[in-house]
Amino acid sequence: MDGAAPAPGRRQPYSLERRMARTAYLFLTPTLVYFALFYGLPIALDLAMGFYSGTAFMGRGGRFVGLLNFKILLQDEGALASIYRTVAFSAGVIAISVPCGLGMALLLNTEMRFRALFRAIMFFPYMTSMVIVSLVWNVLYQTEAGLLNFLLHLVGLPRVGWLTNLDLALFSLVLMTAWAEIGYNMVLFLAGLQSIPSEFYDAAKVDGADTWRIFRHVTLPLLAPTTFFVVLMSFILSSEAFTQVFIMTRGGPANATELFSYRVWETAFTNASFGYAAAMAFVMFLGLFCITVLLFRGWRTEVEY
Amino acid sequence: MAWKVLRYLLVGLCAVVMGFPFYYMLAVSFATDSQIHWFPIPVMPLQLGWENYARIWDEAPFGRFFLNSLIVAGSITLLHLILDPLAGYVFAKFRFRGRDPLFLVILGTLMIPFFLRMIPLYWLMAQLGWLNTYAGLIIPFASSAYGIFLMRQFMLPFPSELLDAGRIDGASELHIFLRIVIPQLGPALAAVGLFTFVYQWNNFLWPLLVTSSMDMRTLTLGLTFFYQEGYTRWNLMAAASMLLFLPILVLFLLAQRFFVKGIATSGFK
């Protein structure tokens, strides 16, 4: 491939341009094969699987059923409830982790002692496996022996079934998921804050604006692109939450924490309905895609300044 | 002044909220079998013994789990460090037909939730005979749009004249890549390597699906071994989770700035 002399008799001289193009394709081949095999093919297969019934797939006992799986899904009350639950879950996680992440970023934005240490501590949960986060919070949430209930006990309140109470279990998952994501949001917000030119603050101060006004009318609008990105990432991350449900609640009590992702897994790998689960996964993708596009549309008008 | 004190108080409070659960995990790992039924499990360990850490090895082959996690996360990281700079460099510095659409398609994979790929990938692994093998754990994660994107961003401002100078001097394209491009990508390689390793080290769902025998399990799966409805042995589980936790902590302390920079520039998730 390197500067070999052109083959004798070849009309076109061996140009740099051609060498570059050849190299490009050569270097890209492994990557393209990877994306074709492990993204392209699975995505196509998922849609194909969605048209088949039962456990088998494509000519091995599976029956082509057309859009039946999608029709069933539209009337599957359990699945629809889990979609609603997932939206509520994501909204809850965003509502907690985005403002908290911004708050922490504002606190750590200017020089102070031990700043790097504090930043590391706040960021670290995000680096930790969700398995560990789930196990630790499981200990904290225990009804009989848990530390959170001990704190309630100290102020004279009765024990609460953090993971066993029908109305509370989902919120408990929201809380620990938000806790795990705050550090990530904080780092993004810190980067966003650093990128705001100090002239804006100087100008606002000259005009006599107080801290709150500066935050409301300078920081927040200039931070809008970051905020958009944080909300989007937070949304994508939380809508795919699985590990915490698997480890902490298995979707219980009485489906109260059964997120859509968990239901897809359950349908495929516990109930062995690959076709139906594939259809569910495709709907999940469509939903995520639409909401992302809507977020983009909605924010583009807001973000311009 | 008041604001300064308040600021330290608030930051301290946040640090406690974010850091305490990890401390508590350590405390629980020292608790005896009877103390795990106390209300609450002691926050200050009443004894600092290593019995729990010794006992976990008898309960399950944690050495093997650890090794498997290391092999899987390490191999995936290595593959990323080969494929991502190659592709990122090509997308940044080469002109060829189909470049922009190809790059857009690869970026578009960021929009694909893992759950959309999960079931067909599992089926594919079964067809290839890769269920319960290292290949099945490693190959489906060999590259990512994040890594490629970061490499490309890093390579874009690099002057193309230097690359062309190498070509005029008769250097092969591979030589140019290894001797000129790779040294430029240092921080990007560090960020991609660290993030990929941590992400895969922590991965739970995919090993859960494709592994079925004890000797192929990874550490994240091994931890759930102690979790049983009603009588979970929290002390052993906390001790075992240190195996999963400590390597990441060490890595993070050694390379904190790469993690923070990596997120700030690319939004790695």
Instruction: Report ipTM (2 d.p.).
Output: 0.89
> A174 pLDDT band (50/70/90 cuts)?
very high
| Chain A interface includes B165 (CB < 8 A) | no
User: What pLDDT band is residue A2 in, cutting at 50, 70 and 90?
Assistant: very low
Residue A51 lies in a domain: no
pLDDT of residue A6: 46
Instruction: Pick A208 or A45 by higher pLDDT.
Output: A45
Tell me A240's DSSP state: T
All structural domains of chain B: 57-266 (1.10.3720.10)
Chain A CA closest to residue B27: A136
Full residue range of the structural domain in which residue A287 is found: 76-303
| Best residue of B78, B119, B139 to probe chain A, by most A CBs closer than 10 Å | B119
Residues 6+ apart with CB under 8 A from A41: B120, B124
Cβ atoms A143, A158 nearer than 8 A: no
The CATH number linked to A207 is: 1.10.3720.10
Burial A72-82 (b: 16+ CB within 10 A, else e): ebeebeebeeb
CA A135 to chain centre: 20
Q: Does A163 touch chain B (CB under 8 A)?
A: no
- Rounded to an integer, the average pLDDT of A214-240 is 87
Enumerate residues 6+ apart whose C-beta is below 8 A from A118: A108, B11, B14, B15
Chain B residues with CB under 8 Å of A45 CB are 120, 123-124
Whether residue A119 lies within 8 A of chain B, CB to CB, comes out as yes
B23 touches chain A (CB under 8 A): no
Residue ranges of chain B with per-residue pLDDT less than 70? 228-230, 262, 264-269
Rg for chain B (alpha carbons), in Å?
23
Is residue A205, in this structure, part of any structural domain at all?
A: yes
- A128–B253 C-beta distance less than 8 A: no
B125 at A interface, C-beta within 8 A: no
For residue B238, give the nearest of A125, A131, A271 by alpha carbon.
A131
- In a domain, residue A64? The reply is no
User: How many structural domains is chain A composed of?
Assistant: 1
Per the CB < 8 A criterion, the answer to whether B125 and B131 are in contact is: yes
Contact of A281 with chain B, judged by CB distance below 8 Å, is answered with yes
Flag whether A28 is in a domain.
no
State the pLDDT confidence band at A275, using cuts at 50, 70 and 90.
Answer: confident
Look at residue A95 and tell me if it is in a domain: yes
Interhelix angle for A130-141 vs A147-154, to 10°?
40
Which two tokens mark A134?
């789930």
User: How many angstroms separate the CA atoms of A246 and A165, rounded?
Assistant: 17
Mean pLDDT of A186-207: 86
pLDDT at position A112 over 80: yes
Is A34 inside any structural domain? Answer: no
Q: Taking each helix axis from N to C terminus, what angle separates A115-127 and B2-29, rounded to the nearest 10 degrees?
A: 40
Asked, for residue A290, whether it belongs to a domain, the answer is yes
Distance CA A225, CA A232 (A): 11
Stated pTM of the model: 0.89
pLDDT 10s digits, B168-180:
888 888 888 998 8
Chain A: residue whose CA lies nearest to B28:
A139
- The answer to whether position A163 is within a domain reads yes
pLDDT recorded at residue A301: 60
Are A183 and A239 in contact, with CB atoms under 8 Å apart?
no
CA distance A82 to A280: 11
